[in-house]
C-alpha cells in the first residue's frame, strides 16, 4: 500500500528533490520499497517582462495576475502629489517700502549688512532669530528699550512701530498714536541702535534719512 501524500517527511510532491521516487510498503509493518516514477525535468527559461512604451520604465507597484494560462500585468501608479499651497504675498504700501529701503540703505552704507537684514523683521514686529543679532547690537537694542533680555519687543517699541507702520501702510491717519516721535527721529534712533553707535549720532543719521526722503510725518517721492 502506498500513501505518498500522507507522508509528511517524504511528501514526494517536489520532483526536483525526490526524482519522482515513491516509497511503497506491501505490509503495514513490513519494509518499504522504492519505486521510481517516470520523470522529465522541466526546462528552465528566463522570464522577462516587456512593456511597450517609450520610457522603458514603470514608476509604480506592478501586480502580476495569472488567468487561464495567460499572464497579465497591471501597474498601480502612485497618487499625484498635492500641489503646494502658495500663500498670497502682501504688497507693502509705497510709503512703507520707501521707509524700509531708506533704513536698509543707510545700514548697508555703513557696512552693517547683518543689521540691514533685520529691518524688515523689526518694522513688521516679527520675531528675531537669536543667531541673527550680534551680541553688541542685541545689548544696544536692549539698553535703549527696543527689546528685553529674551529678544522680545518692548511694549513701547511695539506701540510706536505699530503706529508709524499703520500710517505708512495707509491703514491709519492717527498721528497722535505716534506720540511726539517724528518718523525721521524714529528711524534715526533705530539706525543708531542697529549700528551700536552712541545715541548722539542720531542727529547725523536723521539728516541722512531726510536726504533719502524721510520727513517728519511721512515720506517724500513715494510713488
Contact 97, 199 (CB under 8 A): no
Alpha carbon distance 143, 15 (integer Å): 91
Indicate whether 104 and 43 sit together in one domain. Answer: no
Indicate whether 200 and 99 sit together in one domain. Answer: yes
Binned at pLDDT 50, 70 and 90, residue 133 comes out as confident
**Model confidence pLDDT, tens digit, residues 136-185:** 999 999 999 999 988 999 999 999 999 999 999 999 899 999 999 999 99
43 within domain boundaries: yes
Give how far the C-alpha of residue 62 lies from the chain's centroid of Cα atoms, to the nearest Å: 31
144 within domain boundaries: yes
Query: For the residues 86-94, what does the mean pLDDT come to?
Result: 66
The predicted pLDDT at position 210 comes to 94
84 within domain boundaries: no
Indicate whether 197 and 101 sit together in one domain. Answer: yes
Indicate whether 47 and 152 sit together in one domain. Answer: no
Alpha carbon distance 217, 204 (integer Å): 18
Query: Domain containing 178: what range?
Result: 94-211
Indicate whether 69 and 99 sit together in one domain. Answer: no
222 within domain boundaries: no
20 within domain boundaries: yes
Q: How far is CA 212 from CA 6, 42, 108, in A?
A: 100, 91, 14
Indicate whether 118 and 203 sit together in one domain. Answer: yes
Indicate whether 67 and 116 sit together in one domain. Answer: no
Count of structural domains within the chain? 2
The predicted pLDDT at position 71 comes to 65
Indicate whether 117 and 58 sit together in one domain. Answer: no
Paired with 153 in beta bridges are: 147
Give the pairing type, strands 70-75 and 62-67: antiparallel
Indicate the pTM of the whole model: 0.59
Amino acid at each position: 500500500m502506498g500513501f505518498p501524500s500522507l507522508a509528511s517527511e517524504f511528501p514526494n510532491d517536489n520532483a526536483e528533490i525526490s526524482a519522482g521516487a515513491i516509497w511503497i510498503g506491501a505490509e503495514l509493518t513490513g519494509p518499504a520499497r522504492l519505486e521510481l516514477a517516470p520523470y522529465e525535468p522541466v526546462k528552465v527559461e528566463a522570464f522577462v517582462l516587456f512593456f511597450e512604451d517609450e520610457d522603458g520604465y514603470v514608476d509604480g507597484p506592478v501586480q502580476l495576475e495569472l488567468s487561464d494560462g495567460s499572464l497579465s500585468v497591471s501597474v498601480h501608479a502612485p497618487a499625484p502629489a498635492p500641489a503646494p499651497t502658495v500663500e498670497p504675498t502682501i504688497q507693502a504700501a509705497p510709503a512703507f517700502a520707501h521707509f524700509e529701503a531708506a533704513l536698509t540703505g543707510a545700514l548697508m552704507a555703513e557696512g552693517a549688512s547683518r543689521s540691514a537684514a533685520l529691518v524688515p523683521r523689526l518694522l513688521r514686529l516679527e520675531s528675531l532669530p537669536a543667531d541673527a543679532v550680534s551680541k553688541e547690537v542685541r545689548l544696544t537694542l536692549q539698553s535703549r528699550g527696543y527689546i528685553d533680555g529674551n529678544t522680545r519687543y518692548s511694549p513701547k517699541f511695539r506701540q510706536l512701530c505699530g503706529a508709524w507702520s499703520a500710517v505708512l501702510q495707509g491703514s491709519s491717519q492717527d498721528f497722535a498714536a505716534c506720540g511726539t516721535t517724528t518718523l525721521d527721529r524714529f528711524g534715526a534712533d533705530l539706525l543708531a541702535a542697529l549700528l551700536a553707535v552712541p545715541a548722539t549720532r542720531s542727529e547725523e543719521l536723521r539728516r541722512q534719512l531726510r536726504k533719502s526722503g524721510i520727513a517728519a510725518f511721512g515720506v517724500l517721492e513715494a510713488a
